[in-house]
Amino acid sequence: MKRLLIVANLPSANTQTLAQAVLTGARHPEVSGVQSTLRDALDATAEDVFDADAIILGTTENFGLLSGRLKDFLERIYYPCLERTEGKPWALYVRAGNDGEGAVRSVERIVTGLCWRATQPALVLSGEWRDGFPDQAKELGMTIAAGLELGSI
């Protein structure tokens, strides 16, 4: 059984909906060989990262950057994970009121240092909330979990 870890900051009902949608997609009935877990960025640890075969990070854009909670997570795991988690497949989704580009750039810059392997471009869910956002988040979870099961990511 492979393991997928989803780490997100969850400051609002919408961001909780998105994270749950990613998890639901990852737990698609046809993806039976992957165990998926959602952790609040405040609680997630380096051990969680060691145990994971792939990681999805989720953040809001705050002050044009990643959220403080996701940054705190990355600060706590950075040195424990450095040189122990190289090549780990990862993906990112961002919820932003504006364009979300600052959040994408800031997460990617940090993760570049960890030498994780990006599986796809970031999913950015920006502007006014749209009813289709959870479906996009669900698809992300399903895509990464299916890729992990198939060994294609």
Ligand X SMILES: Cc1cc2nc3c(=O)[nH]c(=O)nc-3n(C[C@H](O)[C@H](O)[C@H](O)COP(=O)(O)O)c2cc1C
Interaction between residue 64 and ligand X (CB under 6 A): yes
Interaction between residue 15 and ligand X (CB under 6 A): yes
Out of 19, 96, 107, 145, which residue is the one contacting ligand X (CB under 6 A)? 96
Nearer to ligand X, 48 or 101 (CB): 101
Nearer to ligand X, 12 or 112 (CB): 12
DSSP code, position 10: -
Using alpha carbons only, give the angle 123, 26, 18 rounded to the nearest 5 degrees. Answer: 50
Q: Are strands 89-96 and 123-126 parallel, antiparallel or unpaired?
A: parallel
Helices 133-150 and 13-26: crossing angle in degrees, nearest 10, is 30
CB of 18 to ligand X, least distance (A): 8
Interaction between residue 149 and ligand X (CB under 6 A): no
The residue behind tokens 């609680």 is 43
Q: What does the alpha-carbon distance between residue 23 and residue 40 come to, in Å, rounded to a whole number? A: 12
Burial class (CB in 10 A: 0-12, 13-18, 19+), 21: buried
Out of 12, 32, 112, 152, which residue is the one contacting ligand X (CB under 6 A)? 12
Nearer to ligand X, 137 or 145 (CB): 137
Out of 61, 77, 124, 146, which residue is the one contacting ligand X (CB under 6 A)? 61
Q: Which residues bind ligand X (CB under 6 A)?
A: 12, 14-15, 60-64, 95-98, 129
